[in-house]
Amino acid sequence: MTQERTEKLLKVLNQRQPNLTVVLEDVQDPRNITAVMRSCESVGIQDIYIITTKTPRFEKFGYKSGSSAGKWLTIHQYTSIEECFTVLRSNYNQIFTTHLSSDAVDLYSINFTESIALVFGNEHSGVSEEARSLADGNFIIPQMGVIQSLNISVACAVSIYEAFRQKRLAGHYQQSTMPVEQMNLLKEQWGFNLDNIG
């Protein structure tokens, strides 16, 4: 690996945001998943959680729109909603699902400087009742049109770019907050020579 490549990847790693994640529940179209991956990678999200209770477990993500992003992310797959949420609870302080309900909060009222997991549901039925019952609340993206819904990959991009905006203003990208063990593991996975770097 060249010195220039090493420096670029180190910069990317140091800007990863371990206190923000995206969860996809039973998303059917692999193209939506890979598009989400690309957006997540672009704002410094490292970990993505994929729940498949109604769809087969994904073995690979090979669509061109996001296949290059997948190799830079840590993808956790679960076939149990409860099991996934147990892990989320141990890693993030708040869990919000996207769901149009009377108690849903506005996306722009969420404090993304906190530790947060955002759950996006199936293209047709949205987030399941079980997932909503295990979450801390629901959120919606304000819209002014007749159709009150967005494609899942678009909804995710809108949401995490609001997180990006808040976190950048708060200085979260100026210093690394990733645990050392996770950082070293990723360096190894990304092809770093650990003897030559700090």
pTM for the predicted model, two decimal places: 0.91
- Residue 120 inside a domain? The answer is yes
Nearest to 155 by CA among 173, 144, 167, 143: 143
* Structure confidence by residue, pLDDT tens digits, 66-117: 457 888 999 999 999 999 999 999 999 999 999 877 788 999 999 999 999 9
Per-residue pLDDT, 23: 98
Q: In the predicted model, what is the mean pLDDT of residues 136-165?
A: 91
Q: Taking 50 as the threshold, does the pLDDT of residue 157 lie above it?
A: yes
- Residue 149 inside a domain? The answer is yes
Per-residue pLDDT, 66: 46
- Residue 196 inside a domain? The answer is no
Per-residue pLDDT, 104: 86
- Residue 197 inside a domain? The answer is no
- Residue 198 inside a domain? The answer is no
With vertex at residue 36, the alpha carbon angle to CA 76 and CA 54, rounded to the nearest 5 degrees, is 55
Using a pLDDT cut of 90, give the percent of the chain over it: 70
Q: Taking 60 as the threshold, does the pLDDT of residue 121 lie above it?
A: yes
- Residue 60 inside a domain? The answer is yes
- Residue 166 inside a domain? The answer is yes
CB atoms within 10 A of CB 91: 14
CB atoms within 10 A of CB 136: 13
Provide the domain limits for residue 122: 3-189
CATH at 166: 3.40.1280.10
- Residue 162 inside a domain? The answer is yes
Give, for 74, the enclosing helix (H) or strand (E): strand 74-78
Residue 18 β-bridge partners:
none
pLDDT, mean over the chain = 90
Per-residue pLDDT, 102: 76
- Split into its structural domains, the chain has a count of 1
* Structure confidence by residue, pLDDT tens digits, 13-58: 999 999 999 999 999 988 999 999 999 999 999 999 999 998 777 7
Per-residue pLDDT, 65: 45
Per-residue pLDDT, 68: 77
pLDDT band at 154 (very low <50, low <70, confident <90, very high): very high
